[in-house]
């Protein structure tokens, strides 16, 4: 009989009480989709499930992901959390691994191997960007965020995607970002209209030090705001490149999220380059802590 024990980790903690909780089942073979969704429903968080891979995939692990309302093709922080637990369970002992997901194969890497600063990074594909230039839509986005047009940075609003589309909205200050009180009942319809799975307003703390802040208001996940959204941070990285706020190199960009809901989080993202120095999407990672600590 399989052990379907749920372990919860906090992924990308950036301070006391921070990080995005991720319930993880390391031995999920034999669990049906409804049982997995029930784990997410009871926890109220995006949850990850580790299964045996399809032998033809070449992967070492297969993962499925659920929010309280539905299954997702990919969940970055649950992947990072699951890989961290697999390391501690002795099931992942090499410097890299390959994970089969519904959105494709994901590479996982251990950085600072076997040190106190060890952390996990995962790969994401090249970002794609689309400008939202309809004045009526821009006005609606500002209305739903409950800000004036003057509160927005003079930058295009972008639909950005590596795994799922997130809408990048520049806000003039970190203080204004923290003060946002969106019209939550309107978010789902707005996101459906603009082809997005969530609004991701952001602000610049220091472009020189590559430090940014963001908040994630999802379209329909069963909760109003995320503490840390890895796929949105990855999408933001490509937006920051388009905005010319960060150069296209391999240095880490830090994204702070979750402060406004008392769960300070810190996500590290950077552009990925292959052995010939050609760009290959991006990498993202950060710290993980057992939720009991």
For the stretch 177-200, pLDDT in tens is: 999 999 999 999 999 999 999 999
* Cα–Cα distance for residue pair 99/268, rounded to 1 Å: 20
Q: Which two tokens stand for residue 228?
A: 């840390």
Instruction: Say what the pLDDT of residue 1 is.
Output: 34
CB 99 within 8 A of CB 108: yes
Q: Which two tokens stand for residue 284?
A: 């993202």
pTM: 0.87
Average pLDDT along the chain: 92
Q: Torsion over CA of 259, 282, 231 and 47, rounded to 10 degrees? A: -100
CATH of domain 128-271: 3.10.310.10
Higher confidence at residue 205 or residue 260? Answer: 205
For the stretch 26-82, pLDDT in tens is: 999 999 999 999 999 998 888 999 999 999 999 999 999 998 889 999 888 899 999
Q: Which helix (H) or strand (E) holds 214?
A: strand 211-214
Instruction: Say what the pLDDT of residue 221 is.
Output: 65
Q: Which helix (H) or strand (E) holds 135?
A: helix 135-145
Assigned superfamily of 6-124: Diaminopimelate Epimerase; Chain A, domain 1 (3.10.310.10)
Instruction: Say what the pLDDT of residue 291 is.
Output: 82
Average pLDDT over residues 253-268: 94
Higher confidence at residue 15 or residue 128? Answer: 128
Q: Which helix (H) or strand (E) holds 34?
A: helix 33-43
CB 283 within 8 A of CB 259: no
Q: Which two tokens stand for residue 213?
A: 């802040």
Average pLDDT over residues 109-115: 87
Q: Determine how many CB atoms are found less than 10 A away from the CB of residue 249.
A: 9
In degrees rounded to 5, what are phi and psi of residue 102?
-65, -20
Where in the chain are all domains bearing CATH 3.10.310.10? Answer: 6-124, 128-271
């Amino acid at each position: 009989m399989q052990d379907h024990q749920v372990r919860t980790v906090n992924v990308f903690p950036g301070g006391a009480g921070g990080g995005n909780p991720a319930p993880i089942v390391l031995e999920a073979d034999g669990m049906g989709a409804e049982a997995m969704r029930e784990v997410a429903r009871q926890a109220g968080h995006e949850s990850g499930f580790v299964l045996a891979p399809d032998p033809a995939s070449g992967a070492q692990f297969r993962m499925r992901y659920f929010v309280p309302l539905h299954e997702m093709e990919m969940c970055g922080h649950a992947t990072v959390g699951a890989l961290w637990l697999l390391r501690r369970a002795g099931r992942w002992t090499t410097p890299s691994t390959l994970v089969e997901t519904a959105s494709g194969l994901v590479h996982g890497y251990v950085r600072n191997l076997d040190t106190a600063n060890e952390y996990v990074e995962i790969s994401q594909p090249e970002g794609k960007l689309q400008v939202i230039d309809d004045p009526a839509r821009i006005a609606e986005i500002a209305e739903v965020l409950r800000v004036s047009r003057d509160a927005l940075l003079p930058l295009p609003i972008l639909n950005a995607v590596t795994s799922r589309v997130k809408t990048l909205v520049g806000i003039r200050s970190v203080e204004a970002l923290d003060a946002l009180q969106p019209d939550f009942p309107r978010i789902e319809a707005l996101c459906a209209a603009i082809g997005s799975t969530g609004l991701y307003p952001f602000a610049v703390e220091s472009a020189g030090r590559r430090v940014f802040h963001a908040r994630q208001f999802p379209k329909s996940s069963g909760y109003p705001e995320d503490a840390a959204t890895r796929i949105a941070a990855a999408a933001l990285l490509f937006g920051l490149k388009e905005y010319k706020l960060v150069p296209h190199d391999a240095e880490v960009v830090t994204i702070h999220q979750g402060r406004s809901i008392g769960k300070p989080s810190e996500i590290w993202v950077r552009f990925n380059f292959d052995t010939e120095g050609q760009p290959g999407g991006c990498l993202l990672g950060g710290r993980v802590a057992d939720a009991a600590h």
